[in-house]
Amino acid sequence: MRGYKIAGGVVTALTVAATVGTIPTAHASDFGMELNGTYHYHANGDIALVNDVKKQMPTIDETWTLSSSCVSPVECEGTATSSAGWSARLWYGYPNTYWVVDRNIPEWQFCPGGGVAPGEQRFQFSGVDVVAEESNKRNTNFLVGRQRTLSPSGSCGTNKPLVIETPMLLERLS
């Protein structure tokens, strides 16, 4: 009698395993947060800050291709690819309430003595309702924020890092 119970349990376990194996795997849902498509990137150099002092810097216009998926309304990840020739991780989630792209620039700051220092660049942005003039994290067509690039302290022989910050916007093209 005991052998039948064990054999029955094995058959039941195999039946459950076979049934579970046929269930389709879960995919990330559309939480209305995903950034997917082509965007116009604009960084306004007219109102840039260099080490917290307003200074005219070049205005930058690029085309970005964003691809992301979310596993929840507060956790998303993907890739940002720029027409300037770089790609970087795109993410949204704790501890931030905005999208972030971080990238390293190996040769960013040319030093007066002839060396070159790297830069760490962070883009952070979120959706905006331009009519209501308020934040709307689900607006994936028009996003605003800032980009900030800084060199490591001690680069170019100074203890103070070079920090350049400009306002930016992303507007969906397709």
Q: In this predicted model, which residue has the larger pLDDT, 132 or 9?
A: 132
Peptide linkage before 112 cis (omega within 30 of 0): no
Instruction: Return the domain boundaries, the chain.
Output: 37-172
Beta bridge mates, 15? none
- Tokens 């040319």, residue located: 110
| pLDDT confidence of residue 146 | 97
For residue 4, count other CB atoms closer than 10 A to its CB: 8
CB 40 within 8 A of CB 65: no
| Tens-digit pLDDT profile for residues 121-172 | 999 999 987 766 667 767 889 999 999 999 998 898 888 899 999 999 999 9
Q: In this predicted model, which residue has the larger pLDDT, 132 or 43?
A: 43
- Tokens 């039946």, residue located: 15
